[in-house]
Every structure is written in C-alpha cells, then in structure tokens.
Amino acid sequence: MSKPKIAVIGTGGTIASQGSGPLDTQDYASSGRPILTAEELVAGVPALAEVAEVVPVPFANIPSTAIGWAEWQALLASIAATRAAHPDLAGIVVTHGTATLEETAYFLSLTMPNELPIVVTGAQRPFTGLSSDGPMNLVAAVRVAGDPQSRGLGALVVLNEEIHAAREVTKTSTGRLQTFRSPDVGALGHVDADRISLWRRPTRLLPAGERFDIAGIATPPRVDVTYSVAGADGVAVRAFLGAGAQGIVAACFAPGFTTPAEREALAEAMAAGCVVVLSSRAGSGRTFPAKRYAAQGFLNADNLNPQKARVLLMLALTRTKDRAVIAELFARA
C-alpha cells in the first residue's frame, strides 16, 4: 500500500529550536544555535518515512512571536504553491512556535479555500531537549494529515497525541506538555499507535466557498484587544481608537461585562465607527448578549477567546463593517 504524500512547511519555533544541551529546555532561544530548516527537521526524524512520503518545504525560521498578517499571507501563498507543485498531496503539516500557534491555525481555518487536510503542530521542548515532544508531535501531525478522516475538518492542531479543532483549542500552560486544550468541548480525537481515533466533527466551520480571500490586502484592518481589570478607565480604548483601530475586542470580565468607564469609552469608539466585540478573559464559556450592551451595538464573540476573536474580526472587516453581518459570522465561524 502506498504511503500518503505530506508536505511539511517549517516556520521555526520551539519544535525546530536547538538549545545548548539536552537539559536546556527553557532558555534555548539564547543558545545562539540556529533554528532547523524544514529539511533539517524532517531529516532529524527518520521515523517519518515509515508513515508518509514527506516533502519538506522551507518557509521561515522565526519565533512565533514574530508572526503576523504578512507571514500569514506568505504562508497561504506557500501552501498554494506547494499544492500546485504537488497535486497528489494528501495533506499539509505546518510546524509552528506555540506562542501564536492557535491564531495561525484559526486564521488558516478561515482562509484555506479548499478541504485539503492541514495540521498545525509544535513543541514545548526544543529539538535538542531531553525527551523532546517535537519528533512525536511531528509524526502524529503527519499521520493525521494523511488520514482521509481529516478532510473537511478545517485546520487541525495536533500535539501531545491529541487532535483539536483550530477554533476551539488554546494554549493553557507555559511549560507543560499537555498545554493545548479545548476548554469547552474537548479534543476531536486521539493519535494512538494503531489508528487515528476521531470522536466528533467541528460544527463551527465556514464552508470552503465562504472563507476569506485576503490576496492583495497588504495591510489588514487594525483590530486591538483591551483587557478588563478592576478600575479600568478606558484610556487604552481611546488610545487604540486614536491609533486608527477599526475594531476592538474587549477581553471582558465573565460573562461579558466591562467597568462602567471602559464601557463608556467603548461606546465612544462605536460612535466613531469602530466595531466592538465582547469576549471574555475567563478562558472558557460564552459571552451572552446582555440587553443593555446589545442595545448600544456591542457584538459578542460567543466562546472565542480574545486572540481568536481578533483574528475573525480582522478578517470580517476586510469584507464589511455591517454589524449584523459580522454578528452572523461570529455565530457560525
């Protein structure tokens, strides 16, 4: 039986990082050693050849803290070029630093124009670290990308032998291996030694034909995140508006409230044409449309965390500033 052909696009991050020694699993970015290229990373995990025909694709060797709109656009272009060069691909794996991995995965889920399986993976320990999780995460991601069950699920995130939907997963710990969790609904499935076990399919997923086309949009609409704390006075909101924010995501007190002063500033922002979406700083659960907020025009992020609500609002604003249309997107995407 032939093995599936899987492209591995390397963007850098911990999974490709090298520390000063096997016990350097924390401050390895200061080791001075180069980040491995996709080709070097694949060559360093010979077990990959047992599960797939792997095509390494160089992209950029950068920490994920340096990834944003321009890199996302370039990544989409790299994916399109890779598919064109290899029309027989069964799937694509993107290796990525864990800091912004969930945002890149959700972005890809909202912008990929087809149903080819795409899996994003990373690591909590560098490639050179004792008991690094990187090699096994990479093998697991390649296996998931090559499994026909993965088609039509949007972008997936695979680490620690768990399969998560891009919309639902988030990083929950700075250092633990089980950091990626889907707080409200749990994993989609598991990567076991003998099989890929999928237990459910994500329902919050835009059809391929409705996903966002950002080709040619060099500068995205500015969307900022403000964080509610006791005594917040709205200064940050007004500063974001002054900087040209077209959208603001409020990381509110659960279940979706701000301080009175912050609410006043956000109302001023909406009066100036800014779209405001209420998310929660709690880490899980929905924000609900309280009457007094809804009456002022505030939108709700449902259970999207602030960083992902920002991704969706940024993309939505490339199409429209109509609050009703944006609200509908937040109810489906």
> What are the tens digits of pLDDT across the range 65-83?
999 999 999 999 999 999 9
pLDDT at 114 over 80: yes
pLDDT at 269 over 90: yes
Span(s) in the chain for CATH 3.40.50.1170: 5-209
User: Is 14 assigned a catalytic role?
Assistant: yes
> What are the tens digits of pLDDT across the range 20-41?
999 999 999 999 999 999 999 9
Closest to 180 (Cα-Cα) out of 192, 198, 168, 196: 168
Q: What is the mean pLDDT of residues 114-135?
A: 96
Q: What is the mean pLDDT of residues 36-47?
A: 97
Q: What is the mean pLDDT of residues 192-215?
A: 95
**What is the pLDDT at residue 23?**
95
**What is the pLDDT at residue 283?**
92
Lowest pLDDT segment from 21-25, 132-136, 184-188, 289-293? 289-293
**What is the pLDDT at residue 288?**
87
Question: 221-332 is classed in which CATH architecture?
Answer: 3-Layer(aba) Sandwich (3.40)
Average model confidence (pLDDT) for the chain? 96
Burial class (CB within 10 angstroms; exposed 0-12, middle 13-18, buried 19+) of 27? exposed
pLDDT band at 317 (very low <50, low <70, confident <90, very high): very high
**What is the pLDDT at residue 259?**
97
> What are the tens digits of pLDDT across the range 135-157?
999 999 999 999 999 999 999 99
pLDDT at 189 over 90: yes
**What is the pLDDT at residue 289?**
86
Give the span between the Cα atoms of 91 and 275, in whole angstroms: 36
pLDDT at 1 over 80: no
pLDDT at 130 over 90: yes
Return the exposure string of 171-200: e unless at least 16 CB atoms fall within 10 Å of the residue's CB, then b.
beeeeeeebbbbeebebbbbbeeeebebee
Q: Which CATH class is domain 5-209?
A: alpha beta
3-state secondary structure of 227: strand
Q: What is the mean pLDDT of residues 293-297?
A: 92
**What is the pLDDT at residue 227?**
97
Side-chain-side CA neighbours of 9 within 13 Å: the count stands at 23
Catalytic residue among 14, 121, 128, 258: 14
pLDDT > 70 in the chain, percent: 100
Span(s) in the chain for CATH 3.40.50.40: 221-332
Q: ∠ at Cα 172 (168, 177), nearest 5°?
A: 105
